[in-house]
């Protein structure tokens, strides 16, 4: 992507100001964070990122995110943006931000994007993955990254359940936590996969245009009941026709990771920062 600059005729007494928007791809361990969104008196991803940005650039700037993650949820591909007047070398910028960020979060890539791009509204899809350990000995080392269940899960039944879901625009309010009045609960599901990756580990990967609060965790919580034989695959699908918040239970946050936020390559292409001297 070519460098995008836009001169704004802001009079500062001597010159016009060139404003630029940069996108950051973030990885973080959500264990010790109270979610991604800024909260007074709480340690959050947004709070730590804005603090590091100020220390690096001496600019007070608000970070905008492609989506929210709950307390305890992890990310490999969260996306945030800042607006800036600075023109630093891209690799130095990533290194400097990571110097100021805490050890449980990092900037893994950084590019410039057009000023009219909103990383939330222009995203094509989000991809989440949930890890479950079913059976065997619980793992103390992995306790913050995987949901331990003593009973072995029936992957065939779980697969039948997700394959019967509507892969189209649909009302997902049954799998959502509380939402504001008038908030649309229509989302489009693109993919949902259940895979046993070793004898005692199951991965549930979900991709959609967007997700409602707690949607993935409620989908997994109800899916675990299918795997245990507590409900049938058809019972799982029938939740969709019941009232808001009827599906569940809500699986613990620590098993969930935001893997990726996808965009058209003409909007955000993370490979475009290779071999570039400036942002």
Residues with a known catalytic role: 70
Task: Give the pair of three-digit tokens for residue 246.
Answer: 């009827």
- Which residue in this structure is represented by tokens 């071999």? 275
* Distance of alpha carbon 61 from alpha carbon 125, whole angstroms: 26
Q: Confirm if 200 and 148 have CB atoms less than 8 A apart.
A: no
Neighbours of 101 (CB within 10 A): 21
| Angle between helices 45-57 and 90-100 in degrees, nearest 10 | 120
* Distance of alpha carbon 271 from alpha carbon 110, whole angstroms: 10
- Which residue in this structure is represented by tokens 């970070």? 63
Task: Give the pair of three-digit tokens for residue 34.
Answer: 């109270």
What Å distances lie between residue 219 and 41, 54, 130, 144, 207, CA to CA?
31, 38, 10, 20, 12
* Distance of alpha carbon 118 from alpha carbon 81, whole angstroms: 9
DSSP count for the chain of H helices, then E strands: 5, 11
**Beta strand extents in the chain (DSSP E only):** 6-8, 17-28, 64-65, 74-84, 105-113, 125-134, 147-149, 169-171, 186-198, 201-208, 256-262
Q: Confirm if 59 and 7 have CB atoms less than 8 A apart.
A: no
């Amino acid at each position: 992507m070519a460098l995008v600059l836009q001169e704004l005729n802001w009079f500062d007494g001597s010159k016009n100001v060139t404003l630029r928007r940069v996108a950051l791809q973030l990885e973080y361990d959500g264990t010790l964070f109270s979610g991604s969104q800024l909260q007074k008196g709480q340690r959050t991803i947004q709070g730590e990122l804005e603090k590091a940005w100020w220390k690096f650039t001496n600019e007070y700037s608000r970070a905008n995110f492609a989506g929210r993650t709950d307390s305890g949820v992890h990310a490999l591909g969260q996306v945030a943006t800042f607006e800036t007047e600075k023109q630093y070398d891209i690799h130095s910028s990533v290194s400097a931000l990571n110097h100021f960020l805490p050890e449980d979060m990092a900037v893994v890539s950084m590019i410039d994007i057009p000023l009219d791009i909103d990383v939330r509204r222009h995203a094509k899809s989000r991809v989440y993955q949930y890890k479950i350990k079913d059976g065997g000995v619980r793992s103390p080392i992995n306790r913050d990254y995987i949901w331990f269940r003593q009973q072995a899960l029936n992957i065939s039944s779980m697969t039948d359940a997700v394959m019967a879901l509507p892969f189209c625009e649909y009302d997902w309010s049954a799998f959502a936590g509380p939402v504001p009045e008038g908030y649309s609960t229509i989302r489009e599901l693109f993919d949902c996969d259940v895979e046993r990756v070793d004898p005692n580990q199951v991965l549930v990967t979900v991709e959609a245009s967007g997700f409602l609060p707690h949607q993935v965790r409620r989908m997994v919580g109800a899916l675990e009941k299918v795997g245990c034989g507590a409900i049938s695959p058809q019972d799982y699908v029938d939740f969709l026709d019941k009232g808001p918040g009827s599906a569940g239970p809500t699986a613990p946050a620590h098993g969930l990771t935001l893997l990726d936020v996808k965009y058209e390559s003409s909007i955000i292409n993370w490979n475009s920062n290779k071999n570039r001297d400036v942002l």
